[in-house]
Structure 1
Amino acid sequence: MPKLPDLEAMAIFAKVVELKSFSAAADELALSKATVSKAVTRLEARLGARLFNRTSRRLALTEAGLRLAGPAAQLLNDGEAAEDAILAQSAQPRGLVRLASPMSFGLLEVAPLLPDFLAAHPDVSVDLHMSDEAIDLIGMGFDMALRIAALPDSSLVARRIGPVPRHVVASPAYLAARGRPTHPAHLAEHACLGYAYLPTPETWRFVNAAGEEASVRPVGPLRANNAEALLPALEAGLGLALQPDFIVGDALAAGRLEAVLADWSPPPVALHLVMPPGGPRPARVEVLARFLVERLSARCAGRGAASTGPAG
């Protein structure tokens, strides 16, 4: 009778390929690095082919590894989906939820909420991945993501949580020295600090209550791939920036920054919870989704009520 395939070794191999690291795969699977390495070695011996070229700094798939990577990933996904289908029927949420969030929003708004959630659901754990880059939920195996955007049509299931006001802000010292812009065109004469992941980072667009549109190409001494990283330069008086309220709200309230262009608004963006299509979803995913929507909806409503005038 032929031996069954070494499904465990293939699943471990797929996790190493996904995370591009034996150590990271060991951490995620709660195994020792030696166990992960032995499983891959066992699979290589069974197949009679080397799957990785390994050096102290680099891990690369061989030709055989490339051929096996797709089927092994599908095997792992099918196994996880089968487990999820059973766990979804459990009344008690349990297991890991992988959640992606923008970096600053995750630090300032999401992380402070998680202790309450974890205390209420002790059998659920959360893997919070924070990055301002757009995450491929399906390709990277995430259960859900929080996104701040004007979402285009996509294959993802999205739920709008609430608006995210944005303001053009600068320090009082900067405005005293350089003047206060009253029209978006005036920004061409100012030092503008840029955020790389704006919907249109090379062009700031605005509209007023009459429907008049204006745009400007910002130029300035600093650009960053995280909006919060611009705060020190803003408060030091080095320029203006287009910033979300959850980052600059405290500085505005304290008078360290001031909002300008009160009669103009950038295109509206909102906070969304997005998930891959399909179902039923595991109970652990559903309870976290409901928790985040409830708590963050209240936060968005509070910020919207506290915002004075149009965002801009």
Structure 2
Amino acid sequence: MDKLQAMQLFVRVVDSGSYTAAADQMEISRALASKLVQALEDQLGVRLLHRTTRKLSLTEAGERYYQRVSEILGSLNEAEALASELQADPRGRLRVSAPMSFAIHHLGAAVAEFQQRHPRIELELTLNDRQVDLVEEGFDMAVRIAKLADSSLVARRIAPCRMLLVASPDYLRRAGEPQHPQDLVAHNYLSYTLAARRDEIVLVNGAERETVNLNGSLRVNNGDVIASAAAAGLGFCVSPSFLVWQRLQRGELVELLPHWEIPEIAVHAVYPAGRTLPAKTRSFIDYLVERFGPEPYWDQAPR
């Protein structure tokens, strides 16, 4: 007995309520269909179906077996579809949500190269620092930069995201350079309003850990504006290295307290759970990992 064929046949018999209909769907004779189900019952040692001249009905064991086998066959079909899809040319519209500054600085060139590789994918990139609802708003995936909380989304790490304390040389000449995390309390903090803790930072140096409560004259919901204000000498800020690496190279900004670290977050690709990931989405995520991770070019640049 081909057990997989017998399981498929059993499910079709139950779904159609008829040996004849199930046999036609499987392109086998009714007699063979009956023998396969009988052989399945013999192997299991239980009766799965009540047979009468008028109809078929499931036994209690048959009901449980039908539910489980239906799940198994569904997973098998999904696996086969996934394997086939991987060989297919990715195509179709791909809707992606991404944070504003990361997209402006790094995704422009990236999507150009990606579409050269996959010309049949129509990419729709929406830039927004707000955390969108992927399902409700119809996005296939999102790029998110955070320490992700548990959710119904599947996440794949694209690259690390180092957070740095930075200020301009001119500001430090006027205000003095901090030597310890608590010295930051006396400085003007330029705050990113969408941060989880916008007026508090945690700094770590080996076993030492300092929590610093800050205040300042500027609060903005965009990292580029904050970095520009810091470079102009207004105060200091916490900024991701992907945003300020070129300013650090040019000397417009310098890193503060380099022996102290802000706990690292990461750039992630997230997408809804509970569904087969389309080839178009998988190909874009794979490309982002290839281009940016695990050691992104902005962290390799000399300062």
**8 Å contact 1:145–1:273 — kept in the other structure?**
yes
Deviation at 1:108, TM superposition (A): 0.8
Structure 2: gaps (5+ residues): 1-80
> SS where residue 158 of structure 1 aligns?
strand
Choose from 164, 167, 170 the match for 1:170.
167
**8 Å contact 2:242–2:299 — kept in the other structure?**
no
**For residue 298 of structure 2, what is the amino acid of its counterpart?**
R
Aligned to 2:280: 284
Deviation at 1:262, TM superposition (A): 1.1
Q: Residues 95-123 of structure 1: CA distance to partner in whole angstroms, max 9, x if unpaired?
A: 10011111000111112111111122221
Aligned to 1:25: none
Aligned to 1:153: 150
> SS where residue 205 of structure 1 aligns?
strand
Aligned to 1:216: 212
Q: Could you tell me the percent identity over the aligned residues? A: 38
**1-side partners of 2:167 and 2:201: how far apart?**
16
Q: How does 1:176-187 map to 2 (within 5 A)?
A: 176-187=173-184
Distance 1:122 1:173, change over 3 A: same
**1-side partners of 2:296 and 2:247: how far apart?**
19
Aligned to 1:251: 247
> SS where residue 168 of structure 1 aligns?
strand
1:207 aligns with 2:204: yes
Aligned to 1:234: 230
**1-side partners of 2:232 and 2:299: how far apart?**
27
Give the total of aligned pairs. Answer: 222
**8 Å contact 1:97–1:143 — kept in the other structure?**
yes
**For residue 230 of structure 1, what is the amino acid of its counterpart?**
I
**8 Å contact 1:273–1:293 — kept in the other structure?**
no
**For residue 297 of structure 2, what is the amino acid of its counterpart?**
G
> SS where residue 146 of structure 1 aligns?
strand
Distance 1:198 1:174, change over 3 A: same
**8 Å contact 1:88–1:281 — kept in the other structure?**
no
**8 Å contact 2:227–2:237 — kept in the other structure?**
no
Deviation at 1:231, TM superposition (A): 2.3
Deviation at 1:161, TM superposition (A): 1.9
**For residue 212 of structure 2, what is the amino acid of its counterpart?**
V
1:132 aligns with 2:137: no
**For residue 282 of structure 1, what is the amino acid of its counterpart?**
P
Q: Which moved more, 1:170-179 or 1:89-98?
A: 89-98
**8 Å contact 2:166–2:253 — kept in the other structure?**
yes
Aligned to 1:301: 296
> SS where residue 216 of structure 1 aligns?
strand
**8 Å contact 1:170–1:258 — kept in the other structure?**
yes
Q: Residues 233-288 of structure 1: CA distance to partner in whole angstroms, max 9, x if unpaired?
A: 11111100001111111011111111111121112111111111123222212211
Structure 1: gaps (5+ residues): 1-84
**8 Å contact 2:249–2:302 — kept in the other structure?**
no
**2-side partners of 1:194 and 1:254: how far apart?**
23
**8 Å contact 2:160–2:293 — kept in the other structure?**
no
> SS where residue 156 of structure 2 aligns?
strand
**For residue 228 of structure 1, what is the amino acid of its counterpart?**
D
**8 Å contact 1:96–1:127 — kept in the other structure?**
yes
**1-side partners of 2:142 and 2:302: how far apart?**
25
**8 Å contact 1:144–1:275 — kept in the other structure?**
yes
**2-side partners of 1:307 and 1:167: how far apart?**
15
Distance 1:220 1:307, change over 3 A: farther
Deviation at 1:143, TM superposition (A): 0.9
Q: TM-score, normalised by structure 2?
A: 0.69
**For residue 215 of structure 1, what is the amino acid of its counterpart?**
T
Deviation at 1:186, TM superposition (A): 0.7
Q: How does 1:31-46 map to 2 (within 5 A)?
A: none
**8 Å contact 2:245–2:301 — kept in the other structure?**
no
Deviation at 1:215, TM superposition (A): 1.7
**1-side partners of 2:148 and 2:266: how far apart?**
8
Larger Rg: 2
Divergent runs of 4+, >6 A: none
**1-side partners of 2:242 and 2:87: how far apart?**
37
Q: TM-score, normalised by structure 1?
A: 0.67
**For residue 249 of structure 1, what is the amino acid of its counterpart?**
W
